[in-house]
């Protein structure tokens, strides 16, 4: 399976973001002929105020962004892992949601980001995702033509227990659409992705936002980019250069099995492993 990762600079304009996604997809499919296209986190709307975010979010299924990703799958006859989009929730908040469509445009999975990005960056800037976004609680994986794919989004990367749970469910590939900040990305992005790939012996597929966007307070904040795929041994097999663009890499399920036979970490797992059956005492 060949996967193309779109690296976008999404802004506070849904129509402009849809055009950017379609333009990159046209170029990626013409050059790479992928089986799947992956978009970054919040590809449909990035920046602006909480009220603007809610006003421009999709309604439950079938909104502008959902329909655009679905149409992309149908048009190019590819799977689309629509990184994440903003979708209206309750209390004036949105959900940060991944949708997955097969080659016919049928929805096959929905994942709502679990971990909220409420942190203070090294320069003192405060990020409070939970002020505008409702978290999910469900762990999600899906079958893609015989390959089991697990779902995660951005800040989820810092919580290895989610990735372990996906691996125990049989995930061979884990998707991580993201909008990592420039400051944390330069130090943590690649090392965390490679660590999660090594720990779970899966391919980590990370499509990222790149460049500037305006925050609610009017300040300009930068995202790191560097979309990449890390293989089960922790090697980076493809990476996007700086700026808007795309990259692509192939998933080799035989290589996953080879790595797991050499170092069978899932078989050796003790902490957090499914409960072992009790054995009767010998007479």
Q: Tell me the catalytic residues.
A: 41, 113, 154
144: helix, strand or coil: strand
In this structure, the number of other CB atoms found within 10 A of the CB of residue 187 comes to 11
The CA distance from 61 to 64, in Å, is 9
Q: How far apart are CA 181 and CA 46, in angstroms?
A: 13
Contact between 69 and 80 under an 8 Å Cβ cutoff? The reply is yes
Element of type H or E holding 25: helix 14-32
The structure tokens 């995702």 sit at: 129
Strand pairing of 36-38 and 79-88?
parallel
Q: From the CB of residue 137, how many other CB atoms can be counted at a distance below 10 Å?
A: 6
- Backbone conformation region of residue 68, classed left if phi is above 0, alpha if psi is from -120 to 50, else beta: alpha
Q: What does the angle CA 182 – CA 187 – CA 191 come to, to the nearest 5 degrees?
A: 120
Q: Sign of dihedral through CA atoms 121, 124, 128, 129?
A: negative
Radius of gyration of the chain (CA): 19
């Amino acid at each position: 399976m060949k996967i193309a990762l779109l690296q976008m600079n999404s802004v506070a304009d849904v129509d402009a973001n849809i055009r950017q996604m379609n333009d990159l997809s046209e170029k990626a499919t013409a050059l790479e002929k992928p089986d799947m296209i992956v978009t970054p986190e919040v590809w449909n709307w990035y920046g602006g105020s909480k009220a603007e975010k809610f006003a421009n979010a999709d309604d439950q299924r079938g909104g502008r962004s959902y329909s655009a990703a679905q149409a992309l799958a149908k048009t190019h006859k590819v799977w689309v892992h629509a990184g994440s989009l903003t979708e209206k929730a309750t209390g004036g908040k949105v959900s940060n949601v991944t949708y997955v469509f097969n080659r016919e445009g049928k929805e096959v999975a929905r994942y709502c980001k679990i971990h909220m990005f409420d942190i203070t960056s090294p320069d003192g800037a405060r990020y409070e995702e939970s002020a505008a976004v409702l978290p999910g609680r469900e762990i999600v994986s899906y079958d893609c033509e015989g390959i089991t794919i697990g779902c995660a989004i951005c800040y989820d990367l810092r919580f290895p227990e989610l990735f372990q749970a996906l691996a125990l469910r049989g995930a061979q590939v884990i998707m991580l659409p993201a909008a990592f900040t420039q400051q944390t990305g330069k130090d943590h992005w690649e090392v965390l992705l490679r660590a999660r790939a090594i720990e779970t012996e899966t391919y980590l597929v990370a499509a990222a936002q790149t460049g500037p966007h305006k925050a609610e307070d009017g300040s300009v904040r930068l995202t790191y980019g560097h979309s990449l795929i890390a293989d089960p041994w922790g090697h980076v097999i493809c990476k996007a250069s700086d700026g808007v663009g795309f990259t692509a890499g192939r998933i080799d399920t035989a290589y996953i099995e080879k790595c797991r036979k050499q170092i069978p970490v899932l078989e050796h797992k003790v902490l957090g492993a499914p409960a072992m059956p009790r054995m009767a005492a010998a007479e």
